[in-house]
Amino acid sequence: MSTTEPTTSPAAGDRRTNTPVLQTVDVAVHFGGVKAVDGVSLSMDEGRIYGIIGPNGSGKSTLLGALTRLTPLTRGEILFDGEPFQEVPASQIAARRIARTFQTVRLLPDLSVRENIQLGADASKATGTLGWWTRNLGTAGSAAVDSAIERTNLGGFDDWRPAEMSYGTQRRVEIARALALDPRLLLLDEPVAGMNQRERGEISTLLKDLRNEGLTMLLVEHDVQMMVDTCDYVFAMNMGRLIAEGRPTDVVRDPQVQQAYLGKRFKHA
Ligand SMILES: Nc1ncnc2c1ncn2[C@@H]1O[C@H](COP(=O)(O)OP(=O)(O)O)[C@@H](O)[C@H]1O
Ligand SMILES: [Mg+2]
């Protein structure tokens, strides 16, 4: 059923079996007494946009970290292409064409926009899922870099330094760096935070275009309207657990989901 070959081809046109791209079984991440993620089982098929919603502190970012092996599991299992993911060396994650962005900007300030994006392109060296980038500026993947720059509307910013750009534009550079890997699984943690409405619309359109080309995505985002407009399927978390999943419009109307958000709002009021 599963194949032992590493995935080297881009996702486009590479529709495979019914094996989910990513699957978790009872995944938990505890930090001492804090049960940040506590028994999450989910499954993601190829070529769809999945979303995770939930109030602050519900475990969304920790789950992304667990899915990319940044954060060790307390218990549970992750399967990538049907294979136990814990057995894939961390240095091989990029070679499997898994890319991610972080909730906070992690660009190298002394490199240009193009150089920052270039860092994401070399699958043999990229360590982006772990949150750091080797200073490897080979020529590998320059077509992918050009494409990533074009798709994120960063043409003309090539020589800029991150500090010269607005926060929203820096976030677009982060997305471009992840795209430079030509990923087949892309995880995005609050990609449109700090962006205006027009930029949000552009990112939503970009993600849907990528989905239509076969890319599988998992998106964490606070902007519920963006999630409804963008995702094919949504998981809702509260206190480390999944409390609902399904079509975005159904999930946001779910009484338990509404209660989770309301409870949080009352707490902070
Ligand atoms: N490295 C860590 N050490 C201790 N507690 C953590 C750590 N990372 C996250 N947490 C806690 O885990 C919970 C979930 O956090 P997080 O995954 O960041 O939530 P979200 O992304 O949904 O806002 C929070 O209570 C947070 O304080
Ligand atoms: Mg978070």
| pLDDT band, very low/low/confident/very high, at 9 (cuts 50, 70, 90) | very low
Assess if residue 230 is contained within a domain.
yes
Highest mean pLDDT among 58-72, 118-132, 167-181, 229-243: 229-243
What are the pLDDT digits (tens) for 217-260? 999 998 889 999 999 999 999 999 999 999 999 999 999 999 99
Assess if residue 117 is contained within a domain.
yes
> What average pLDDT does the structure give for the chain?
88
What stretch of H or E contains 241? Answer: strand 241-246
Residue 267 has pLDDT above 80, yes or no: no
Assess if residue 5 is contained within a domain.
no
What are the pLDDT digits (tens) for 154-168? 999 999 999 999 998
Instruction: For residue 100, give the CATH number of its domain.
Output: 3.40.50.300
Beta bridge partners of 25: 77
Assess if residue 178 is contained within a domain.
yes
| pLDDT band, very low/low/confident/very high, at 2 (cuts 50, 70, 90) | very low
Residue 1 has pLDDT above 60, yes or no: no
Output the pLDDT for position 130: 77
Assess if residue 214 is contained within a domain.
yes
pTM (2 d.p.): 0.88
Assess if residue 256 is contained within a domain.
no
Q: Whose CA is nearest to atom 5 of ligand 1?
A: 31
Q: For residues 29 and 19, what is the distance between their CA atoms, to the nearest angstrom?
A: 25
Output the pLDDT for position 181: 92
**Ligand 1 pocket at CB < 6 A:** 31, 34, 36, 54, 56-62
* Structural domain that includes position 182: 22-45+58-241
Assess if residue 109 is contained within a domain.
yes
Residues with CB in 5 Å of ion ligand 2: 60-61
Q: For residues 8 and 152, what is the distance between their CA atoms, to the nearest angstrom?
A: 23
d(CA 118, ligand 1 centre) in Å: 31
The total domain count for the chain is: 1
The DSSP output letter for 79 is: E
d(CA 62, ligand 2 centre) in Å: 7
Q: For residues 17 and 38, what is the distance between their CA atoms, to the nearest angstrom?
A: 30
What are the pLDDT digits (tens) for 80-108? 999 999 888 877 888 899 999 998 888 99
Cβ neighbours, 10 Å, residue 205: 12
Assess if residue 115 is contained within a domain.
yes
What are the pLDDT digits (tens) for 47-66? 999 999 999 999 999 999 99
Output the pLDDT for position 141: 67
